[in-house]
Amino acid sequence: MATICSTHCRSYPSLQPVSSPSSKLGHVPQHVTLSSSASKRFLAAKVSLKSQSDSNEVAVHTHQPQQSDGAATAAAVPVDIDTTQKLLNSELLSFTSAEESRAEASSYNNGNESVSITVVGASGDLAKKKIFPALFALYYEDCLPKHFTIFGYARSKMTDAELRTMVSKTLTCRIDKRENCGEKMDEFLKRCFYHSGQYDSQENFAALDKKLKEHENGKASNRLFYLSIPPNIFIDAVKCASSSASSGNGWTRVIVEKPFGRDSESSAALTKSLKQYLREDQIFRIDHYLGKELVENLSVLRFSNLIFEPLWSRQYIRNVQFIFSEDFGTEGRGGYFDNYGIIRDIMQNHLLQILALFAMETPVSLDAEDIRNEKVSSLYILL
């Protein structure tokens, strides 16, 4: 039985081989325990990827035909580290790194520009658990511009201080540099403000626009609206934000959180309606589950792990299981689940995305369209 566990294998974007007495592949932070029995017909292996924050698990069982002498064998083939490193760096590991994000953020710091991030639906479960902690992580890593402001927008009546208290309960220091985390939290919370309003009110969004301008201090304004609200009010919010709170001298972008409609027809109708107020390059569709470390590790495991990449095929994989588990209930999301249900919320978004990442062929490039094309091709074959 071979058990190969990887709890943290995010080695992109650059591979720096670490010298080791026993291996030249020291950059792969994995531990391997191997034992075999000649009486077994198959050599079985279980790969367990566990996120630090949840109990989701992807299990992969591989098999290898029995050799003629009744024993299962494995051979290690030497590789040219320099050549392999260059290949992986250029083709497979060109994800945006923290350094690249900081470099992009510094381009705003050198100019007279500001970025205003408005979380629409700031009092909701997703904003509290995912969006604000993610924004803080970006801030901690110096990936946000110098001049940025975060506004929470929702129907709930709340003050700036109450928003900060709510947000502070969910912020965590998940990064190695922990010595000044408290100071960073305080600085981050000082950038957070709140405005109460209806999602279909032009007047409320106009009032939000006035507050945004006050914090932008005459700088070129770039505005991002993150829609953390149910799909049935997407259009109302986008219409009001576009007409009453969009940037006059910078870019305006909208992040649309899943689910994108209730079915295929409503999804197409949603896209058509969004394009009445926004261009396609202003719309960013997101499934927050893809940002989990577990899922990000899956891509690295598939396309840059020198052990598993050549074995990732039907000749060696016997069984694939996706186990989704949570230790909490609806917690105030009853109205949402009554309308969409757990199947639409989880399976057609999170789990199908993981399935596509797991089964797709290597994309031509890491361009969004190329990755999408490979995902669609794999789903056509599987479904």
Please give the residue range of the domain that contains residue 251. 111-257
| Tens digit of each residue's pLDDT (9 = 90 or more) over 309-366 | 888 888 888 888 888 887 777 766 777 777 777 777 788 788 888 888 888 888 888 7
Residues 127 and 241 in one domain: yes
Is residue 375 included in any domain, yes or no?
no
> In whole numbers, what is the pLDDT of the chain averaged over residues?
74
What CATH number does residue 197 fall under? 3.40.50.720
pTM: 0.65
Structure token pair of residue 133: 């902690």
pLDDT beyond 60 at 101: no
**According to the model, what pLDDT value does residue 109 have?**
54
Backbone dihedral region for residue 70 (phi beyond 0: left; psi -120 to 50: alpha; all else: beta): left
pLDDT beyond 90 at 28: no
Residues marked as catalytic: 350
Q: What's the mean pLDDT in 105-124?
A: 78
The total domain count for the chain is: 2
Taking each continuous run of H as one helix and of E as one strand, the counts in the chain are 13, 11
pLDDT beyond 90 at 135: yes
pLDDT beyond 70 at 158: yes
Radius of gyration of the chain (CA): 24
Q: What's the mean pLDDT in 134-149?
A: 90
Please check whether residue 229 is in contact with residue 124, taking contact to mean a CB–CB distance below 8 angstroms.
Answer: yes
**Dist. CA 271–CA 275, nearest whole Å:** 6
Say which residue, 303 or 158, is predicted with more confidence: 158
Is residue 80 included in any domain, yes or no?
yes
Say which residue, 44 or 285, is predicted with more confidence: 285
**According to the model, what pLDDT value does residue 156 have?**
92
Lowest mean per-residue pLDDT among 3-17, 55-69, 85-99, 345-359: 3-17
Is residue 248 included in any domain, yes or no?
yes
pLDDT beyond 50 at 73: no
Residues 243 and 324 in one domain: no
Is residue 183 included in any domain, yes or no?
yes
Residues 117 and 79 in one domain: no
